Amino acid sequence: MRDKVRCLIIGSGPAGYTAAIYASRANLEPVLFEGLQPGGQLTTTTEVENFPGYPDGISGPELMEDLKKQAQKYGTEVYPGRATAVDFSVRPLKVTIDNEHIIESDTVIICTGASAKYLGIPDETKYAGQGVSACATCDGFFYRKKKVAVVGGGDTACEEALYLAGLADKVYMIVRKPYLRASQIMQQRVMNNPKIEILFEHQTEGLFGENGVEGAHLVKRKGQPDEEKVDIVIDGFFLAIGHQPNTDIFKEFLEMDEVGYIKTQHPTTKTNIEGVFAAGDVADPIYRQAVTAAGAGCRAAIDAERYLSEKGL
């Protein structure tokens, strides 16, 4: 493993691997560290049907393996390990891997992604890829003419519920509070949709089913004298309680929004620090799709190559 590189890529989802493909073909000899979840969030998705070029669909892990092979074919060095600290106040930039190995780099492309927030009930793990999802746009297609539930009461939850209502027969919204936090227009849309039923003051206690999700155990008005246990029959359980970008180690140096998404100088992937670029879900609170992440990875590699060229590095 080299201690000094021209281009260091942190993270291995569609953004990281696409950045690696472009960077290696531009002769930047990139080094990529895969992070905690090699392949990123897509490796938890069983079937991907919306990535161009796969008319019969492809599993998330297979797609990531294809992208990884393509990056390695053109010369990217891929290593296990995650970035645990950075120092962007010096040149070359410094990144610490697994708390021990420091790598210096002229450019850093951050593709550390975002993690969906979960409720923390064991059944979410048990049924991962078998009815539990954190992305309606990714997985909604599998629930055509079926019954689904969306957890959350904000704009994201309303968007997911409306998207799913275009596919499913029935959409429950499980909302902990007695009201929706979403904007007025979104509230009106879900309330006016005949396929959506909002279950206010309900919380999920667990899921049940033999070979996948078949229903959810809910509790209504938990802790109140009139507390009531409710079971609903569903085929899919969608979490829409937000995402947390994986950006903690960059907070000292990079400009971020209030949630922690890295701010980039649109239309580029440049951050407020010269030579540091961000691509994929780590800088995208809106789309969060594999194909948009891949596109951003391409842009980041081109931005990095131009920066190195301008600086004569």
Q: What amino acid positions are annotated as catalytic residues?
A: 135, 138-139
Measure Cα distances from 145 to 115, 159, 164, 194, 199 in Å.
Answer: 29, 19, 10, 14, 20
At 194, phi and psi to the nearest 5?
-65, -20
Smallest Cα–Cα separation from 23: which of 42, 41, 39, 10?
10
Smallest Cα–Cα separation from 137: which of 121, 112, 116, 118?
116
* Those residues with Cβ within 8 angstroms of residue 196's Cβ, 6 or more apart along the chain or in another chain: 161, 162, 165, 171, 172, 173, 190
* Those residues with Cβ within 8 angstroms of residue 102's Cβ, 6 or more apart along the chain or in another chain: 3, 94, 95, 96
Count each helix (H run) and each strand (E run) in the chain, helices first: 7, 17
At 252, phi and psi to the nearest 5?
-65, -25
Helix (H, G, I), strand (E, B) or coil at 248: helix
* Count of Cβ atoms closer than 10 Å to residue 21 Cβ: 23
Helix (H) or strand (E) holding 115: strand 114-116
Measure Cα distances from 25 to 16, 21, 197 in Å.
Answer: 14, 6, 51
Structure token digits, residue 260: 């922690």
Nearest-10 Cα torsion for 20, 24, 29, 35: 10
Give CA–CA dist 64/43, Å, rounded.
7
